[in-house]
Structure 1
Amino acid sequence: MGNAALGEMVRPRPAVEERLTRPQRLVRQLSDLDSGRLRRLIRSGDLAPCFDADDDERAVECPICFYFYPSLNRSKCCSKGICTECFLQLMPSKASRAVHCPFCKTATYAVEYRGARPSSESTLQQEEIQNINEAKTRIRSKTQKTGET
């Protein structure tokens, strides 16, 4: 805590299992992947662990691979979620140029890991899904009524 500014709390990072510091579902082999650096970034909390896919109702879906995870990295430009393995595959090799954000097309793409989603965000997402489902039901019933007349 000696390096923390006055009044700033340093939250302890939970220990990450060794197996969660290694990518498990890469679509393409990353020839220039620095495993040691990746392990350090995950253990320091700068990148989300390479979680196992999850089917828990609180899990969030990665919009790239469509697997569900306990939590995701967030893009710094638009706060969209992405799993670590998809992020690794989007990042350029040393020989290629910078990558644009796959969501908002910002020129320089970077992510941060904020840990698990707060329950308030999860509740808002569930309410949004419920509202969408109710709207679909209303539209279907209106369509059926107009088809009967």
Structure 2
Amino acid sequence: MGNRIGGRRKAGVEERYTRPQGLYEHRDIDQKKLRKLILEAKLAPCYPGADDAAGGDLEECPICFLYYPSLNRSKCCSKGICTECFLQMKPTHTARPTQCPFCKTPNYAVEYRGVKTKEERSIEQFNRKSLKHR
């Protein structure tokens, strides 16, 4: 009773990962809004970044070059970005639209899809190998 079939089940996020970890100074961040977006799985949790991908399926943020369990994805080009770098790209108190840092599409926005599946990782690895052999 009350169970939904289909759709994504939201995994609980530890409270400490609902706020920035200190990579940047975030003076104008609405902490309540950020927490809500993370708990609703609309933004990736603010995990502390690792210097290398040793021992796991970590993704590298192309802005800060740190590794995370999962990243947000640009809605326009699907490039990954950590939440703290996204917060730097998307100032809260401006009406001016932000361009995607990767493809320059106006009105930059991201979505959080969760941790990449094994299939997504395999496809990505195959594509990288294909590009090397061209």
**Which amino acid in the other structure matches residue 69 of structure 2?**
P
TM-score scaled by structure 1?
0.76
Counterpart for residue 108 of structure 2: 109
Bigger Cα Rg: 1
Distance in 1 between the 2:121 and 2:21 partners? 26
Q: Deviations over 1:46-75 (max 9, x none)?
A: 000011224234211111001111111001
Match for 1:42 among 11, 22, 38? 38
Q: Name the count of aligned residue pairs.
A: 130
Q: Provide the aligned C-alpha RMSD in A.
A: 2.3
Name the one with the larger helix percent. Answer: 1
Counterpart for residue 62 of structure 2: 63
Distance in 2 between the 1:108 and 1:129 partners? 29
Distance in 1 between the 2:126 and 2:59 partners? 15
Unaligned runs of 5+ in 2: none
- 1:1-149 equivalences in 2 (<5 Å): 9-27=6-24, 29-54=25-50, 55=53, 56-95=55-94, 97-130=96-129, 135=133
Distance in 1 between the 2:95 and 2:68 partners? 29
Q: Which runs of 4+ in 1 moved over 3 A?
A: 127-133
TM-score scaled by structure 2?
0.84
Moved more, 48-57 or 11-20: 48-57
Aligned identity (percent) is 51
Moved more, 92-101 or 43-52: 92-101
- Judged with a 3 Å threshold, the aligned counterparts in structure 2 of structure 1 residues 104 and 130 are, in CA distance, closer, same or farther, namely closer
- Judged with a 3 Å threshold, the aligned counterparts in structure 2 of structure 1 residues 19 and 68 are, in CA distance, closer, same or farther, namely same
Distance in 2 between the 1:59 and 1:72 partners? 9
